[in-house]
Structure 1
Amino acid sequence: MDSMDSLRHVIQFHPLIDNHAHNLLTRDAAADYESFPLESITSEAHGRALQNASTTMPLLRATKQLSELYGRPCATWSDVVEAHSDWVKTDYEGLIRRSLEGTHALLLDDLLVDEDVEQYAWHDSFTISASKRIVRIEAVAADLLQQIMNAERNPEESVWSTFTKKFADALEHAMEDPAVVGFKSVVCYRTGLDVSPHYSDEDSLTTSLHRILDSGTRKSGYRIDDKPLNDWLVQQTLKSITFKKQAGIVKPLQFHTGLGDNDISLVRANPAYLQPLIAQYPNADIVLLHSAYPYTREAGYLACVYPNVYLDLGEVFPMVNRQGQETIIRQALEITPTNRLLWSTDGHFHPETFWLANKQFRQALEKVLVEYVQQDDYTISQATTAAADILFHNSNRLYGLKLDPQYTHPASSTIVTSKQLPPELPPALSTFLKANPNLEYVWVQWLDYTATPRVRMFPIPEFIRIALHQRRIGVSLAVLSMLQDDTIVAGGNVTGQLYLEPDCSSLYLNAGMSESTASSASVMTSWRTEDNKPLDGCPRTALASVIDKLYQEHEIDVKCGFEIELMLLKPVKDGGGKVLDYKPATEIHSWSQITADTRRMLPVLEEVHKTLAAIGIELQQFHAESSPGQFEFILPPASPLQAVDTLIAARRVVTAVAERHGYRATLHPRPFPDATGNASHTHVSISRPEKDASFLAGILAHFHSIMAFTLPQDISYERVRSGIWAGSEWVSWGFQNREAPIRKISPGHWEFRLMDGLANPYLALAAVLAGGLIGLESRLPLRIQDCTGKVPSTKIAPIWRLTLSSSGRLYSD
């Protein structure tokens, strides 16, 4: 990464603190376009004036950009509304998570619309750090007045006296509240920014208060919009801020400036009016919000000459067009110190306001800073520091947040545009990143000899370095001798290590698990030696080698497909909720029937299908199997490696979805003595069916060796019994015979029935195909005939229980 790329990296990847935003709508309110029109995400207009927003450049630009957020093309605003509606209905929290990606913390002015928005703490699940509150002083005053007027009062105490005491108490409470990090005034909306630096006399204030009381009611409330009182609220807040700062409590006062709704006086929205007030309270930190547009230069001047003033660069993103946004940043940088600039979205109501603001700000900031570097106005180091300060560090210092930036949302920044991806990335990874703009982590995994999935987790930037071979993932060679409980068998080697080589074509999104895994994916790996050669004994490499030989030596392509048989179990708990045992999730249950019990499981089964479909795995069918709680999911055919990768991903989804519904899914071959048992039936087809006789003969000739891989544990053989469609106990095959271990379906297409969930499927499938390869190489004749009955017509040595006995010796009946 060259120096300019490092600057772009910081601008696009650095986590941000949103120093001024508002609460998001509830799901129901988000769908109420009449009360909360979607056009407001790019315009401050209201009512009839908002209808004109559809012709503005900010809205037209947003229409195109939101295609990326929604994951679907949006050519018109109607497309945007439809996409928004679909997300709100099906995955509102997912839309919020996408929209807040990259946000470290939100500082929320949470008194905008109480009943239709989520509470400020609700937003914590979508950001790295907890949300903080910005207290709007006019809203506090209005609430106090309504309380006072609706309560019984001491007749000897005036409303003004009661109000001043309660307001002072409210300020004190907010100052002591660790969740509150600052205050905000909307005096700009009410009486303008020409706030007097000096108090009015008490008679004027009392009169001002009564004018407000006369204009409202106890039921409807009171709008604080009379100048003496509005000025007094600001003065009192600044006085309290100054006093508390002496005690080490720093909580700035934010002012709305510039751009706003149509009830603002645009002339008096100029922050230059605040200069006398700023000078009067030099120890009170003041933030000028919303870029003060169109008075950005005036605000920048104040932030330049007064050490207690900061300029916020929010709201104009996405309210102003691209060129205007770049101009605003340039004007802010004309004389404003970069350590006095803050970032905010002014995001409110709809999640899209946050997403658009963050996206457009990063784009504009990159354009401006890169040009300044190219023109030698900044060094790269200076521009990089400025970007990080504006996005994160300035707010972190000003509000005393004491946060450490965590790069947990780099993925969408990595792939904002395809040209930002390293061109040498493996095509499969590049395609996957572009298709999944919210990806944060990749789980690098492998299946050990016990079929236990092992996982290492990497943030996207680090995984990209792995994919570019800029670093390697070393794992102890002890894993070759490790059991499921992490103990090492006798003779295991704990010296040395193997290296994991990700196959990016195996990338799958993690789905069905908790929301914390919603932005991660898994990738399978092969094993390499210290000198980067294929490691003997790697299950994935073994399978790939057999596949390659079949094609190179015999021009045979192989397709495979797996069936997942499993049992869903429900916990048996004691009175204290402790799990004592498990039992089948259904009792009234039979093969391929919808019973009263299996009908209850439909939400689980259908969620499995939908979750798999969402990550590109299309089930061919699913149905109830024979034993209580037993179900089967049939996966699509694919090349052998892809088929096994799909199997592993699908098993994880099934297990996770079951857990979400309170069930446990097991692949155990015989979880209960009277159960039919779970298999992992495997379909194999070859592209040259005229060679199927020798291929099948080779498998049959080496059946005993193959079963060491397909039925690897003692319990595996407890499932293989005659008369239960489990593959029987004899080396045999039969056309459409489900009692034979190999069912021939059509020329060159078989179902291999003696495999279960305890097998490492890479090794198991490699063993099956290797048997077929040997048959082809030796041109073996098929001497075992089609078994058309319940048992083979030719007596062949039974194969079941060919495994390790309790003494460790091989034995067979």
Structure 2
Amino acid sequence: MDSLDSLRHLIANHPLIDNHAHNLLSRDVATDYDSYPLESITSEAHGRALENARFTLPLLRATNQLAELYGSPCAEWSDVLAAHSRWVEQDYEGLIKRSLEGTHALLLDDLLSDDDVESYDWHDSFTASATKRIVRIEAVAASLLVELMSTDRQEGQTVWGLFRQQFLDKLEHAMDDPAVVGFKSVVCYRTGLDVDPHTPDEDLLTASLHRTLDLGTRKSGYRIEEKPLNDWLVQQTLKLITWRKRAGIVKPLQFHTGLGDNDISLLRANPAYLQPLIVQYPDADIVLLHSAYPYTREAGYLASVYPNVYLDLGEVFPMVSRQAQEKILQESLEITPTNRLLWSTDGHFHPETFWLANKQFRQALEKVFIDYVQHGDYTVSQAKAAAADILFNNSNRLYKLQLTAQYNAESTEQSLAVVGQKGAVASDALDAFLQANPKMEYIWMQWVDYTATVRVRMFPLQEFIRIARNQRRIGIAMAALSMLQNDVVIPEGSTTGQFYMQPDFSSLHLNGSMVTPAALSATVMTFWKTEDGQSLEGCPRGTLQNIVEKLHKQHNINILCGFEVEVVFLKSEKERTTCDPATTIHSWSQMTTQTRRMVPILEEITQTLVSMGIKLQQFHAESSAGQFEFVLPPLAPLAAVDTLIATRQVISAVADRHGLRATLHPRPYPDGAGTASHTHISINPPTKEDIFLAGMLDHFRSIVAFTLSQDASYERVRSGIWAGSEWVAWGFQNREAPIRKINPGHWEIKSMDGLANPYFAVAALLAGGYLGLEANAPLTVKECGVDASTLSESQRSELGITTQIPKSLDESLIALENDKALQNLLGPGFVRNYTLVKRAESASLSAMSEAERRLWVVERY
């Protein structure tokens, strides 16, 4: 039963996400009070003005409260200084742990200072989840100018031209970096928030840049405070955010608003100035930082009338008095939706800034919310839901963190999980999606089985809402884990029991109009759960996510994946006798009379994907007749595979609409080039790339049981067709090696095709890298610059190339059965069942003639 005590307990104990903070000082300088005065924990003042902070109510309140943190009396400010120094000298990490207790994750603007502070990932050991970065765009621009002015330019290059391109490149890189979850602008400090929403001409920007350079030096640096240039930085960031959001990459832009030091123009710090910019970029998520104090009501208004605006409640805790904090919170709740309010500390330098902010915010939140409940504005359950949203859920959703926070209530254990899990949180995610798509009628729940068959259950919207709210479970017969493409269950399979599909709302996307033209529908991918709600061994998405999490938590490695979708378009069933390509006058990257006729279809595919939020990087003709390639953007592994599945479905649906058949068959006709699903994997940081690569190579014969998962797949394991050739090798930009190195920590895996379950395939590749890291495996295979099949045995031996890629599915399955380390990591029960399914599938196909078998695969993949 909900009570005020349960509300107090939740507010005091619920884990929080700090959506805007800065790095802590290293121990060596944490007591350098001249450079980093401790009074700054409650004041934005500097110099002589900061001396007066000791006479302010916020600092006196902090003095009294810090006695609890230090575990010793603090009657005077001198007691605080002494206690801080003592903790730093004796147990600095202990002080940090106490100060960050209850903080689930930190999002750090780590460009406040490059000196004297710890790196962003150093903070990971003090929070439940890894620290993420917020990239300050003005700091990026300033550092670029120092680099540019220290580098000789080539003839014809201009400073503006170089700066423009390199700044945009830096933004793109940050967009692709999984450690970066957002951007920040301090244009408020420089030229104010009246940012022009329209880009000025190049001459004005060039002049603005040169004035900036005239006012700085390479040694002193360059402060960007020219309005045309400052506005341009913001405009370009919002343009990129808008564009990449359509591809499913969501990274908001934070704006410093309101409260600041004497460097700020207080009048131009009013977020109301941002209204034209917000209107110009309606698809870019914008966060107004620091409660916009003293303009909280203006910020709250913007967050209430624009769906892309959020209000952060940070910095005023502990910078203003207790009554002011409560008033600011009340003003933010006057009209602002609680699903648009975020919490942050703006903690920086000293651990006390985090502790005070969190303590005082929880106190204010309890006081205000209990008052609302007692006056009937909120029920207790409504207040608890709003508090959990502000503390954790809203940031979790906005920044796509996909975190799970465990909160134990006093009497019953509750799981306030991430989007895509139980209860109100999942419901909120669905509600937001439906608000953006009010004509939605159906939701498809999809999964990919062990034969790489995409299976689906379709639900009218109201029925699916019951599933999202945990009012109904969707059970799937356990026999589905042992089922072939024709629904035959292998003899070893069980027809007893079931597992349950749990929708993952981070994967929710519109179905393109070409996929379901009758009514507006959407697809959500699923995890598999046991009867008691635990993860089921052998769940494809769960298997992949488990490996990704292990790499991050145990080795601090983040992964990006991308796919090249190769597909062959065949003539319609009426026109073709076997596998007749839609184009025969055809060659790689060429526009012929026949490929030109395919362009409207290719563009229709691209436009459909854009309508679904999927942004292709390019598309072009490939080498084989009727073959084309679509290149997808890099994403986190689970999102990348989800996007791959959706893209293939669109390609197939558009082809069907035009009377064609799109197939992923590895070689739909023997004399054509192979059709693959080349997979790009990047690790960040790339410092252990050789060890990771060694692991993939060591386990490669087992891995291909997942990446080349049918007998037809091995028709591509040949030399001379740019399919990775026949030996386990790697080479820089070598397209006749199964692993092509592109950049540090970035490889293309060529030994993968469209018959594989891509969740398992990527999981196996990453598992190989993980096992290499666990064993600190040496890279014994040297770089190979040619097709290893053209080398003599002794030449291969000199390069450490001693292992052949399996030539059949059976050979790779035997390798997998002998690879106990890979089995144990992926799940031995799953691997055993997978091999049984693949052998039964192989036996069924082997009973057909070659022509029958080829058509059978073409019709299903």
Scaled by the length of structure 2, the TM-score of the pair is 0.47
Aligned-pair distance for 1:392? 0.1
State the 4+ residue runs in structure 1 displaced beyond 6 angstroms.
Answer: none
Aligned-pair distance for 1:407? 4.2
What is the CA–CA distance in structure 1 between the aligned matches of 2:408 and 2:28, rounded to whole Å? 30
What residue identity is the alignment partner of 1:233?
Answer: L
Q: Does residue 145 of structure 1 match 2:159?
A: no
What is the CA–CA distance in structure 1 between the aligned matches of 2:218 and 2:52, rounded to whole Å? 37
Q: Does residue 387 of structure 1 match 2:378?
A: no
Instruction: Summarize the alignment of residues 127-276 of structure 1 with structure 2, pairs less than 5 Å apart.
Output: 127-276=127-276
Aligned pairs, number: 411
Q: Does residue 340 of structure 1 match 2:340?
A: yes
What is the CA–CA distance in structure 2 between the aligned matches of 1:208 and 1:168, rounded to whole Å? 18
Secondary structure of 2:333 counterpart: helix
Instruction: Summarize the alignment of residues 355-366 of structure 1 with structure 2, pairs less than 5 Å apart.
Output: 355-366=355-366
Over the matched positions of the two proteins, sequence identity in percent amounts to 78
Please name the residue that 1:19 is paired with: 19
Please name the residue that 1:314 is paired with: 314
Deviations 1:472-519 (A, max 9, x none): xxxxxxxxxxxxxxxxxxxxxxxxxxxxxxxxxxxxxxxxxxxxxxxx
What residue identity is the alignment partner of 1:151?
Answer: T
- Report which of the two structures shows the higher radius of gyration computed on alpha carbons: 1
What is the CA–CA distance in structure 2 between the aligned matches of 1:322 and 1:137, rounded to whole Å? 33
What is the CA–CA distance in structure 1 between the aligned matches of 2:252 and 2:32, rounded to whole Å? 35
Secondary structure of 2:381 counterpart: helix
Deviations 1:442-481 (A, max 9, x none): xxxxxxxxxxxxxxxxxxxxxxxxxxxxxxxxxxxxxxxx
What residue identity is the alignment partner of 1:305?
Answer: V
What is the CA–CA distance in structure 2 between the aligned matches of 1:408 and 1:3, rounded to whole Å? 15
Please name the residue that 1:31 is paired with: 31
What residue identity is the alignment partner of 2:260?
Answer: G
What is the CA–CA distance in structure 1 between the aligned matches of 2:174 and 2:270, rounded to whole Å? 28
Secondary structure of 2:107 counterpart: strand
What residue identity is the alignment partner of 2:121?
Answer: A
Does structure 2 conserve the Cα–Cα contact (< 8 Å) formed by 1:102 and 1:408?
Answer: no
Deviations 1:505-541 (A, max 9, x none): xxxxxxxxxxxxxxxxxxxxxxxxxxxxxxxxxxxxx
Aligned-pair distance for 1:9? 1.0
Please name the residue that 2:350 is paired with: 350
Unaligned runs of 5+ in 2: 411-861
Secondary structure of 1:11 counterpart: helix
Secondary structure of 1:17 counterpart: strand
Please name the residue that 2:104 is paired with: 104
Deviations 1:41-100 (A, max 9, x none): 000000000000000000000000000000001000000000000000000000000000
What is the CA–CA distance in structure 1 between the aligned matches of 2:284 and 2:261, rounded to whole Å? 27
CA RMSD of aligned residues (A): 1.4
Instruction: Summarize the alignment of residues 743-782 of structure 1 with structure 2, pairs less than 5 Å apart.
Output: none
Does structure 1 conserve the Cα–Cα contact (< 8 Å) formed by 2:2 and 2:380?
Answer: no
Please name the residue that 2:372 is paired with: 372
Please name the residue that 2:791 is paired with: none
What is the CA–CA distance in structure 2 between the aligned matches of 1:28 and 1:285, rounded to whole Å? 38
Aligned-pair distance for 1:29? 1.3
Secondary structure of 2:311 counterpart: strand
Please name the residue that 2:55 is paired with: 55
What is the CA–CA distance in structure 2 between the aligned matches of 1:316 and 1:60, rounded to whole Å? 15
Secondary structure of 1:18 counterpart: strand
What is the CA–CA distance in structure 2 between the aligned matches of 1:407 and 1:113, rounded to whole Å? 35
Unaligned runs of 5+ in 1: 411-813
What residue identity is the alignment partner of 1:88?
Answer: V
What is the CA–CA distance in structure 2 between the aligned matches of 1:25 and 1:230, rounded to whole Å? 29
What is the CA–CA distance in structure 1 between the aligned matches of 2:408 and 2:383, rounded to whole Å? 23
Instruction: Summarize the alignment of residues 583-594 of structure 1 with structure 2, pairs less than 5 Å apart.
Output: none
What is the CA–CA distance in structure 1 between the aligned matches of 2:354 and 2:409, rounded to whole Å? 15
Does structure 1 conserve the Cα–Cα contact (< 8 Å) formed by 2:109 and 2:136?
Answer: yes
Deviations 1:711-761 (A, max 9, x none): xxxxxxxxxxxxxxxxxxxxxxxxxxxxxxxxxxxxxxxxxxxxxxxxxxx
Does structure 1 conserve the Cα–Cα contact (< 8 Å) formed by 2:345 and 2:358?
Answer: yes
What is the CA–CA distance in structure 1 between the aligned matches of 2:146 and 2:339, rounded to whole Å? 41
Secondary structure of 2:21 counterpart: strand
Does structure 1 conserve the Cα–Cα contact (< 8 Å) formed by 2:348 and 2:354?
Answer: yes
Aligned-pair distance for 1:409? 13
Aligned-pair distance for 1:155? 2.9
What residue identity is the alignment partner of 2:213?
Answer: L
Please name the residue that 1:399 is paired with: 399
Does structure 2 conserve the Cα–Cα contact (< 8 Å) formed by 1:197 and 1:235?
Answer: yes
Instruction: Summarize the alignment of residues 613-624 of structure 1 with structure 2, pairs less than 5 Å apart.
Output: none
Secondary structure of 1:334 counterpart: coil
Instruction: Summarize the alignment of residues 628-667 of structure 1 with structure 2, pairs less than 5 Å apart.
Output: none
What is the CA–CA distance in structure 1 between the aligned matches of 2:120 and 2:262, rounded to whole Å? 27
Please name the residue that 2:439 is paired with: none
Secondary structure of 2:175 counterpart: helix
Scaled by the length of structure 1, the TM-score of the pair is 0.50
Residues 409, 192 of structure 1: CA spacing in aligned structure 2 closer, same or farther, 3 A cutoff?
farther
What is the CA–CA distance in structure 2 between the aligned matches of 1:156 and 1:223, rounded to whole Å? 26
Aligned-pair distance for 1:219? 1.5
Does structure 1 conserve the Cα–Cα contact (< 8 Å) formed by 2:15 and 2:102?
Answer: yes
What is the CA–CA distance in structure 1 between the aligned matches of 2:333 and 2:145, rounded to whole Å? 42
Does structure 1 conserve the Cα–Cα contact (< 8 Å) formed by 2:2 and 2:381?
Answer: no
Residues 58, 409 of structure 1: CA spacing in aligned structure 2 closer, same or farther, 3 A cutoff?
farther
What is the CA–CA distance in structure 1 between the aligned matches of 2:392 and 2:135, rounded to whole Å? 21
What is the CA–CA distance in structure 1 between the aligned matches of 2:119 and 2:148, rounded to whole Å? 25
Aligned-pair distance for 1:2? 5.6
What is the CA–CA distance in structure 1 between the aligned matches of 2:155 and 2:129, rounded to whole Å? 47
Please name the residue that 1:755 is paired with: none
Secondary structure of 2:111 counterpart: coil
What residue identity is the alignment partner of 1:234?
Answer: V
Deviations 1:580-626 (A, max 9, x none): xxxxxxxxxxxxxxxxxxxxxxxxxxxxxxxxxxxxxxxxxxxxxxx
Q: Does residue 285 of structure 1 match 2:285?
A: yes
Aligned-pair distance for 1:218? 1.3
Deviations 1:3-43 (A, max 9, x none): 11111111111000000000000011111000000000000
What is the CA–CA distance in structure 2 between the aligned matches of 1:46 and 1:328, rounded to whole Å? 24
What is the CA–CA distance in structure 2 between the aligned matches of 1:240 and 1:156, rounded to whole Å? 27
What residue identity is the alignment partner of 1:115?
Answer: D
What is the CA–CA distance in structure 2 between the aligned matches of 1:225 and 1:408, rounded to whole Å? 49
Please name the residue that 2:678 is paired with: none
What residue identity is the alignment partner of 1:38?
Answer: L
Residues 116, 408 of structure 1: CA spacing in aligned structure 2 closer, same or farther, 3 A cutoff?
farther
Aligned-pair distance for 1:408? 9.1
Deviations 1:335-368 (A, max 9, x none): 0000000000000000000000000000000000
Does structure 2 conserve the Cα–Cα contact (< 8 Å) formed by 1:15 and 1:409?
Answer: no
Deviations 1:227-272 (A, max 9, x none): 0000000000000000000000000000000000110000000000
Residues 386, 408 of structure 1: CA spacing in aligned structure 2 closer, same or farther, 3 A cutoff?
closer
Deviations 1:629-678 (A, max 9, x none): xxxxxxxxxxxxxxxxxxxxxxxxxxxxxxxxxxxxxxxxxxxxxxxxxx
Secondary structure of 2:334 counterpart: helix
What is the CA–CA distance in structure 1 between the aligned matches of 2:203 and 2:125, rounded to whole Å? 49
Does structure 2 conserve the Cα–Cα contact (< 8 Å) formed by 1:20 and 1:344?
Answer: yes
Aligned-pair distance for 1:136? 0.1
Deviations 1:122-164 (A, max 9, x none): 0000000000000000000000111001011113111000001
Please name the residue that 1:329 is paired with: 329
Does structure 1 conserve the Cα–Cα contact (< 8 Å) formed by 2:134 and 2:184?
Answer: yes
What residue identity is the alignment partner of 1:212?
Answer: T
What is the CA–CA distance in structure 2 between the aligned matches of 1:202 and 1:55, rounded to whole Å? 50
Aligned-pair distance for 1:406? 2.9
What is the CA–CA distance in structure 1 between the aligned matches of 2:19 and 2:159, rounded to whole Å? 35
